[in-house]
Amino acid sequence: MKDTNPSRRSRNIGTAKQGHGQNNRMGIPESLYGPAFFEKLGNVVQVVFGGFRILVEATRENSVHACTVEDLITVLKLIPAADLGELNLIVLRQPKRKEEMLNPAWGRLIYAFGFEHNIQPVIILEAVNLTGKITRDKKMSVAGQDEFIRLQQDGHQFSTEKRAYIAPNQLEAVRNTQLYRTLFHEVGHYVEYQQKVFYRPEELDAEEAFYSRRDVYFQIPKQEKELFAHSYADRIARDLQAQGKIPFPRILNDAFLREHGLRKADFDANSCI
């Protein structure tokens, strides 16, 4: 029987069920054919050193790159060359404000990154807003609980609010997360990619095999790939700690910055060069 009660017929007016807000919902603009949002870099300085290329995007007010270029070069040299393979490009990127709200990330591995007419793998580490904060809902998944513990181990100081745990963005804690965990985690993803996708030179139809295995790789459940990357990151961090090679104090030398045309303000919000 058709509902003739006007109040009941109208109960969805102005709500998401009726489509309200669907057209103006916030989202990160994407192009089907142009570069992805993380490939749209602004003012960038390129540093080539020790066999690695590091792109440093200028930061905005109150934001800095927690890992310095010298930090990254020091740690990258500690990673087995076979694990890195063709992965020799790192981007220190300044995310847009909308991206920080909608798609926050410490970093990400991009298997095919477009730069200077080349396509290559890259690890991107995001600048951090020192006036911002980390929020974790009290209702967490098992994976969320594990990550919450890791953040605390990195030095993030959470306070307990009514519905969430909140920590201010602190430079050293963010550096610990990105340099000793995120970087290793993303390399772990690339190690698995190499193991499961790359072909041997003697293979017949090697190119066809590569694309076939790549398609299979991207069908692996995210949880399974995350487990591999976490395991790799934990192992390499544990080994380097046992050898006394990490952690180490933040490296920010004015002479290195000047030599490579870098701004100190991009790494130290209280300074400029």
**pLDDT digits over 71-130, tens only?**
999 999 999 999 999 999 999 999 998 888 888 899 999 999 988 888 999 999 999 999
Mean of the per-residue pLDDT values of the chain: 87
Q: Does a structural domain hold residue 29?
A: no
How many angstroms separate the CA atoms of 226 and 228, rounded? 5
Asked whether residue 48 falls in the same domain as residue 98, the answer is yes
Which among 150, 168, 186 is the end of a domain? 168
Q: Are strands 89-93 and 52-57 parallel, antiparallel or unpaired?
A: parallel
pLDDT, residue 42, reads 86
Asked whether residue 41 falls in the same domain as residue 164, the answer is no
For the segment 6-14, the average pLDDT, to the nearest whole number, is 41
Nearest in space to 267 (alpha carbons), one of 177, 90, 259, 254:
254
Q: What is the DSSP letter of 39?
A: G
Per-residue pLDDT tens digits for 20-42: 444 444 454 455 455 677 788 88
Q: Does a structural domain hold residue 215?
A: yes
Asked whether residue 114 falls in the same domain as residue 195, the answer is yes
Instruction: Indicate if the pLDDT at residue 154 is higher than 80.
Output: yes
Q: Does a structural domain hold residue 181?
A: yes
Asked whether residue 200 falls in the same domain as residue 254, the answer is yes
For the segment 149-176, the average pLDDT, to the nearest whole number, is 96
Range in 169-178, 197-206, 258-267 the model is least confident about:
197-206
pLDDT, residue 40, reads 84
Geometric angle at alpha carbon 136, from 133 and 141, rounded to 5°:
155
| Measured CA distances, 178 to 19, 47, 151 (Å) | 39, 19, 11
Asked whether residue 56 falls in the same domain as residue 126, the answer is yes
pLDDT, residue 178, reads 98
Asked whether residue 92 falls in the same domain as residue 182, the answer is yes
Which among 144, 168, 192 is the end of a domain? 168
Instruction: Indicate if the pLDDT at residue 12 is higher than 70.
Output: no
Per-residue pLDDT tens digits for 124-138: 999 999 999 999 999
Whole-prediction pTM: 0.85
pLDDT, residue 33, reads 53
Asked whether residue 104 falls in the same domain as residue 61, the answer is yes
Per-residue pLDDT tens digits for 43-79: 999 999 999 999 999 999 999 999 999 999 999 999 9
Asked whether residue 127 falls in the same domain as residue 148, the answer is no
Asked whether residue 114 falls in the same domain as residue 181, the answer is yes
Q: Does a structural domain hold residue 71?
A: yes
pLDDT, residue 201, reads 66
Per-residue pLDDT tens digits for 221-255: 999 999 999 999 999 999 999 999 999 999 999 99
Q: Does a structural domain hold residue 205?
A: yes
Q: Does a structural domain hold residue 4?
A: no
Q: Does a structural domain hold residue 16?
A: no
pLDDT, residue 204, reads 62
Asked whether residue 200 falls in the same domain as residue 118, the answer is yes
- In terms of residue numbers, what domain contains 237? 35-132+169-266
Q: Does a structural domain hold residue 9?
A: no
Nearest in space to 250 (alpha carbons), one of 240, 264, 260:
264
Q: Please give the share of the chain, as a percent, with pLDDT higher than 70.
A: 84
Which among 151, 168, 185 is the end of a domain? 168
Asked whether residue 110 falls in the same domain as residue 127, the answer is yes
As for how many domains the chain has, the answer is 2
Asked whether residue 185 falls in the same domain as residue 173, the answer is yes
